[in-house]
Amino acid sequence: MASVGIVGIGSYVPPREMSNDDWAQIVETSDEWISTKTGMKKRRIADPDVSTSDLAVEACKIAIEDAGLKTSDIDLLILATSSPDVPMSSTAGIVQDKLGCTECAAFDINAVCAGWVHALDVGSRYAGTPGYENVLVVGSEVYSRILNWDDRTTCVLFGDGAGAAVISEVEDGRGVLGSWLMSDGSGSSVIEIPAGGVRTPIPSEGFVDGMQYFHMDGRAVWNFAIEAFPEAVRMVLEKVGRTLEEVDLIIPHQANINIIEAGMENLGLPMSKTFTNLHKYGNTAGASVPLALKEAIDEGVVGPGSLVITAAFGGGLAWGANAIVL
C-alpha cells in the first residue's frame, strides 16, 4: 500500500478567553486550585451563535490551504466530536456543506477525547486508495455548551477548539506508520451525558434535571488515564517496530498536566519529550491532539522527518495512539 501522511494541518480556537480568575467569579474555585490540580490557566469559549461545525470549518480551511489544495480536492471528511451540532444528522455533513466540498463523503466518529486519534487511523486507511486521494480528518468540540456551569468539578476543565489534518500519499519513509486503538465499554458510565439519548429521553419518566450535562468520575478517570496513556504509546511503538529512544515527541491528549507527567514518568521519559498547551486552552477533548500537534509544528519543536506519537484517552472508555513520521 502507498505511504500516507499529514500534508496539511490547521487549527482554530474562538477569540473569547476565560481565565481561572474568571471562573472564580462563577463557581467556588481559585486560580491556585485549578493550576495545581490541572495545569490550566485559560481556555477559549465559543460565542452562543457558534457551533462545533463552525470551529471545524475554520480549522479545515487552514489545513486545506496548508496542503496546497482546494476544498473540491477533498474526497472524504471524517469528523471526531462528542459535542455535535445536533444529535442527528451528522455534523461532518454540516461541515462538508459549509466548506463546499460537494464531491465528498463525510461521517462522524465519537470516541470522546480519543476521537481524533481514532479518526486519523480510519482516515489513513482510506487515503491513497481508489477514490480517496485526499482525506480530511478533523476534531472539533464545543464542550462549553454541554457542561453544567454550576458544577465546579467539571466546568473549569474544558475549552472549545478544533484541529484538522489532510491525509494524502507521501514518499516512502514518511507518514502514518500505524495506530493502536482500544476500548473498554464496561467503563462507559465513567464519562457520559446520562440523558438525551434513547435510554433516557428529555423529558421522560427517568429524567432528572442536570442529566443533560457532562458527568465525570474524576478519580476513575485518573486511575484509567495514568495507565492508558503510557500503554498506548508502548503498544503503537511495538506495532510499528520502533522504540521509545527513536521518538522525537509525544503529543498527548491535553486532559491534565498531572496525568501527562505521571504518564511520562511511567515511560521513563522527561517532560521535554512531550508538548503541552493545556495552560492556554484547557481540555478541548477530541480537538486537543491536533491543536497541540499544529502548535508543536508551528513552533519548530518537530519538523520533517520527526517521529511523533499522538496518544489520547477518554470516554467510552477509549484510548489509543498513532505513530507518525512528519
* Same domain flag for 115 and 242: no
Q: What is the pLDDT of residues 104-142, one digit of tens each?
A: 999 999 999 999 999 999 999 999 999 999 999 999 999
The pLDDT of residue 285 is 98
Does one domain contain both 167 and 192?
no
DSSP letter string over 247-280? -SEEEE--S-HHHHHHHHHHHT--GGGB---HHH
Domain stop point among 150, 173, 196: 173
| pLDDT for position 2 | 85
Report the b/e string of 233-267 with b at 16+ CB within 10 A: bbbbbeebebeeeebbbbbbbbbbbebbebbbeeb
> Are 312 and 266 within one domain?
yes
Exposed, middle or buried by CB within 10 Å (0-12, 13-18, 19+), for 130? exposed
Say if residue 231 is in the same domain as residue 212.
Answer: yes
Q: Are residues 80 and 108 in the same domain?
A: yes
279 is catalytic: no
**Total Cβ atoms within 10 A of residue 72:** 13
Question: Are residues 20 and 99 both part of a single domain?
Answer: yes
Count of other CB atoms within 10 angstroms of residue 21 = 13
- Domain end marker among 173, 201, 225: 173
What is the predicted pLDDT for the residue at 95? 98
Contact 254, 292 (CB under 8 A): yes
What pLDDT, on a 0 to 100 scale, did the predictor assign at position 254? 98
Is there a single domain that holds both residue 54 and residue 169?
Answer: yes
| All cell numbers assigned to 313 | 484517552
Q: Which of 318, 305, 277 is nearest to 6 (CA)?
A: 305
**pLDDT under 70 in the chain at which residues?**
none
Catalytic one among 101, 118, 134, 253? 253
Q: Which listed residue (113, 118, 215, 277) is catalytic?
A: 113
- Catalytic residue, chosen from 110, 256, 277, 283, is 283
CATH number at residue 294: 3.40.47.10
Please say if 113 is a catalytic residue. Answer: yes
196 shares a domain with 157: no
pTM across the whole model = 0.97
Domain shared by 120 and 186, yes or no: no
Whole-number pLDDT of residue 1 = 75
pLDDT of 270 reads: 98
Query: What is the number of domains present in the chain?
Result: 2
What the block records as the C-alpha cell of 142 is 464545543
Whole-number pLDDT of residue 274? 98
pLDDT tens for each residue of 261-273: 999 999 999 999 9
Phi and psi based region of residue 210 (left: phi greater than 0; alpha: psi -120 to 50; beta: remaining): left
End position of a domain, from candidates 114, 145, 173:
173
Query: Whole domain around residue 184: which residue ranges?
Result: 177-325
Residues 127 and 231 in one domain: no
pLDDT at 276: 98
User: CA-CA distance, 13 to 24, in Å (whole number)?
Assistant: 22
Q: Are residues 168 and 273 in the same domain?
A: no
Assess whether 283 carries a catalytic annotation. Answer: yes
Residues 210 and 148 in one domain: no
